[in-house]
Amino acid sequence: MTHFLDIHTTDPAALRSIIDTARRMKDARTGRPRGACDDATPLAGHMVALIFEKPSTRTRVSFDVGVRQMGGETMVLSGADMQLGHGETIADTARVLSRYVDLIMIRTFEEATLLEMAEHATVPVINGLTNRSHPCQIMADVMTYEEHRGPIAGKKVVWSGDGNNVFASFAHAAGQFGFDLTFTGPEPLDPEPALRDLITIERDPRIAVAGADLIVTDTWVSMHDPQSARERRHNQLRGYQVNAALMARANPDALFMHCLPAHREDEVTSEVMDGPNSVIWDEAENRLHAQKAIMRHCLGC
């Protein structure tokens, strides 16, 4: 049984195969009318459970559409529907769901919930996001970079902002795909110590982006943060905004990415988001294609 729990726990050859499959599937749909059926429906007869303890737009829509495009069916379950760990244990929920569905995607808060689900499920489990990592997003990001600029191996990627769960998966990817990753942000928001051997830390964003091939940022605040935390983070991160002046210090053909949703004029200016170096809409679309490939990888189809 093949789970997809994190980039650093997945074999590099499997990661490369997923990216290649995603690109082939995307190319196969290019130019086709919206709603046209795929010739191949590898998930026909399969039921996929999509569990959302945390709300979502891109993850929910991209997984749901991806399953349907491949001929499968989805069952969308919210945290309120399931109350994971409240009453019935996560382990028992995993055992029961495994009798009904062929694949489980879970977007949750604690990594422990994901790991317990995977330990006790008898069907593959995909990490749709935890507070610690977001591997599906970064597979889409790697795919997007390589569509525009070729192999990411050996390139310089700079993350500006908070060393959060999305950054953690970027650090995992740096080790697996062989690119250089620099973190620039305030010390209180540094990534977890376990990631330090995979990255370079440079406090001055102007120095950090010199020679960068890709600049990435993320929202400064979470929807769950209280107002006091939002104000503190804005004060901490104001100097790490990605704007035209910062992009000008990178390589001339450097790309800009953001996993979205973005707060325009906070972590990034509209000038950069809508500018010629931004690939955020391709990045968002590629969540669909990357996740379709991940599902095929897990199901071996």
Which residues, 6+ apart, have CB-to-CB distance to 33 below 8 Å? Answer: none
Q: Is 23 a catalytic residue?
A: no
Q: How does DSSP classify residue 32?
A: P
Q: Which of 60, 134, 296, 297 is catalytic?
A: 134
Nearest to 165 by CA among 119, 124, 209, 127: 127
Token code pair at residue 132 = 């610690």
Count other Cβ atoms within 10 Å, centred on residue 148. Answer: 13
Q: How does DSSP classify residue 261?
A: -
Q: Is 218 a catalytic residue?
A: yes
| Rounded Cα–Cα distance for residues 28 and 293 (Å) | 13
Q: Is 298 a catalytic residue?
A: no
Count other Cβ atoms within 10 Å, centred on residue 189. Answer: 17
Bridge partners of 129, per DSSP, are: 107
Helix, strand, or coil here: 219?
Answer: coil
Q: Which of 172, 287, 296, 297 is catalytic?
A: 287
Helix, strand, or coil here: 59?
Answer: helix
**Can you say how many angstroms the Cα of residue 154 is from the centroid of all Cα atoms in its chain?**
21
Token code pair at residue 246 = 């910062």
Q: Which of 176, 241, 258, 259 is catalytic?
A: 259
**Can you say how many angstroms the Cα of residue 88 is from the centroid of all Cα atoms in its chain?**
29
Question: Are the C-beta atoms of 217 and 258 separated by less than 8 Å?
Answer: yes
Q: Which of 107, 120, 258, 296 is catalytic?
A: 107
Q: Is 148 a catalytic residue?
A: no
CB-neighbour burial class of residue 32 (10 A; exposed 0-12, middle 13-18, buried 19+): exposed
Token code pair at residue 56 = 């979502």
Q: Which of 69, 137, 176, 291 is catalytic?
A: 137
Question: Which are the catalytic amino acids?
Answer: 107, 134, 137, 218, 259, 287
